[in-house]
Amino acid sequence: MARPVVAIVGRPNVGKSTIFNRLIGDRLAIVEDKPGITRDRIYGISDWNGKSFSVIDTGGIELDGDDLMMKSIRMQAELAIEEADVIVFMCDAKSGITLADEEVAQMLFRSGKPIVLAINKVDNIKKIEDTYEFYSLGFGDPIGISGSHGTGIGDLLDAVVNNLPELVEEEYDDDVIKVALIGRPNVGKSSLVNAILGEERVIVSDVPGTTRDAIDTPFERDGQRYVIIDTAGMRKRGKVYENTEKYSVMRAMKAIERADVVLMVLNIEEGIIEQDKHIAGYAYEAGKASVFVVNKWDVVEKDDKTMKNFETKIRDHFLFMTYAPIVFLSALTKQRLQKLLPVVQHVAQQHALRVPTHVLNDVVSDAVASNAPPTDKGRRLRINYATQVATKPPTFVIFANDPDMMHFSYERYLENKIRAAFNFEGTPIRIFTRRKSDES
């Protein structure tokens, strides 16, 4: 089920990044101990009252020339209006309503999108009544918050969650593999889609996805049904903000959310950049299966070490995604193209794999027997039982005497043992440790 997107919009310096970090705070701690996930984050996944959504801070769009501030904030607002499901509009309590705020408010107002008005830095004002002038913006109750003190964040999250859209029904049957092709401009995504479909054609089809503007392309191969998600989005060009990283990432996030398998198309000759890692990191966090596709293999000068060298380079850059297979191919010459769909099918199966509880417990007991769990102040972590609670991605709960004693490195060890036993190639897996309830 696709996670909705929440965008934070506001003038420079109102505290967007601070609030962004507050909103994704808990999750950040979990994700950051995975090596290789970048710290200068521009998106995050947040949970509140059992509802999950992605947050993106649209600030910091860099522009050259004069009149920058106004132009860049206008772009932020357009981007949010186009791509987000809920927009958090942030103002500064101390400075009151500025001209820039008014202009953005008008744009947001006309969009008809759900807007949550957050007034930050209330620690800087004497009384909350000072925020009442913000009622005049027409977005209802202004929510007073302080990013630095952490006040009002719960109220802000409540308002965001109340405005999230109802989850839409899944658009495709369960046996259809949904594939998103993600990558920088010019890596050959459209060429690859055409090559997969086996004919030169304009990428349009009559299956609009539920995401506005998304166009999906269904096809069948060797008895397996597939759909390529958001082929229209791959072709969008024109507005200024469409060249910004925030836009690409937001667009990619939405395609990733709707997909089972994410094809990270790379142009290794141009090198791997932060943006590639942001997007791959999102696919990891969203729990999707992934495959690296190295396109334009035809133009690479090759010897017997070339593939190995590329592989090492990819592994070095994407340390958190060692499970993803790598396929080298050429969309242009169709060299090695036939290798792709079997890999996609394989990782989709691994993503949906459910393992029998008794076999899982054998694997976990063996792992525990050959490498004892960590101890703390004379006590040892005791693992009682493991069970798979979900697929897509495979998710395991380990019941133990004291979950706080589960160490990151031991969890890693268990993950490796589980992978060694069941493979799970191409898919992230999740492991949670819970306290064994007293009566069980």
Ligand X SMILES: Nc1nc2c(ncn2[C@@H]2O[C@H](COP(=O)(O)OP(=O)(O)OP(=O)(O)O)[C@@H](O)[C@H]2O)c(=O)[nH]1
**Footprint of ligand X (CB under 6 A):** 10, 12-18, 59-60, 120-121, 123-124, 146-148, 183, 185-191, 234-235, 295-296, 298-299, 330-332
Closer to ligand X by CB, 124 or 322: give it. Answer: 124
Taking the complex as a whole, the smallest distance from the CB of residue 126 to ligand X amounts, in Å, to 13
Taking the complex as a whole, the smallest distance from the CB of residue 77 to ligand X amounts, in Å, to 13
Taking the complex as a whole, the smallest distance from the CB of residue 189 to ligand X amounts, in Å, to 4
Q: Which long-range contacts (CB under 8 A, 24 or more apart) does 381-388 make?
A: 381/405, 381/406, 381/407, 381/410, 384/436, 385/361, 385/436, 386/357, 386/360, 386/361, 387/357, 387/360, 388/354, 388/355, 388/357, 388/360
44 appears as a binding residue in the annotation? no
Closer to ligand X by CB, 123 or 411: give it. Answer: 123
Taking the complex as a whole, the smallest distance from the CB of residue 18 to ligand X amounts, in Å, to 4
11 appears as a binding residue in the annotation? yes
Closer to ligand X by CB, 229 or 405: give it. Answer: 229
233 appears as a binding residue in the annotation? yes
CA 269 to CA 274: how far, in whole Å? 15
**Both tokens assigned to 161:** 């969650």
Closer to ligand X by CB, 252 or 418: give it. Answer: 252
CA 34 to CA 420: how far, in whole Å? 19
DSSP bridge pairs for 228? 179, 217
202 appears as a binding residue in the annotation? no
Cα–Cα nearest to 6, from 115, 84, 116 = 84
CA 245 to CA 249: how far, in whole Å? 6
Taking the complex as a whole, the smallest distance from the CB of residue 208 to ligand X amounts, in Å, to 19
298 appears as a binding residue in the annotation? yes
Taking residue 217's Cβ as centre, other Cβ atoms within 10 Å add up to: 21
Cα–Cα nearest to 349, from 222, 175, 216 = 175
Dmax (CA) of the chain: 72
Are 104 and 9 a contacting pair, CB within 8 Å? yes
Are 343 and 353 a contacting pair, CB within 8 Å? no
59 appears as a binding residue in the annotation? yes
382 appears as a binding residue in the annotation? no
113 appears as a binding residue in the annotation? no
Closer to ligand X by CB, 188 or 281: give it. Answer: 188
Cα–Cα nearest to 68, from 9, 7, 12, 106 = 12
Closer to ligand X by CB, 283 or 386: give it. Answer: 283
Closer to ligand X by CB, 16 or 351: give it. Answer: 16
CA 188 to CA 183: how far, in whole Å? 8
Taking the complex as a whole, the smallest distance from the CB of residue 222 to ligand X amounts, in Å, to 23
Closer to ligand X by CB, 75 or 353: give it. Answer: 75
**What number of H helices and E strands is found in the chain?**
11, 18
Q: Tell me, what amino acid is at 375?
A: T
Taking the complex as a whole, the smallest distance from the CB of residue 267 to ligand X amounts, in Å, to 8
In a 13 Å sphere around the CA of 150, the CA atoms on its Cβ side amount to 4
423 appears as a binding residue in the annotation? no
Taking the complex as a whole, the smallest distance from the CB of residue 119 to ligand X amounts, in Å, to 10
121 appears as a binding residue in the annotation? yes
Closer to ligand X by CB, 211 or 248: give it. Answer: 248
427 appears as a binding residue in the annotation? no
The continuous run of DSSP H or E covering 181 comes out as strand 177-182
16 appears as a binding residue in the annotation? yes
**Both tokens assigned to 408:** 């990151």
Taking the complex as a whole, the smallest distance from the CB of residue 416 to ligand X amounts, in Å, to 35
The DSSP result for 93-155, as a single string, is TTT-S-HHHHHHHHHHHHHT--EEEEEE-GGGSS-GGGGGGGGGGSSSS-EE-BTTTTBTHHH
Residues at the binding site for GTP are: 10-17, 57-61, 120-123, 183-190, 230-234, 295-298
Residues at the binding site are: 10-17, 57-61, 120-123, 183-190, 230-234, 295-298
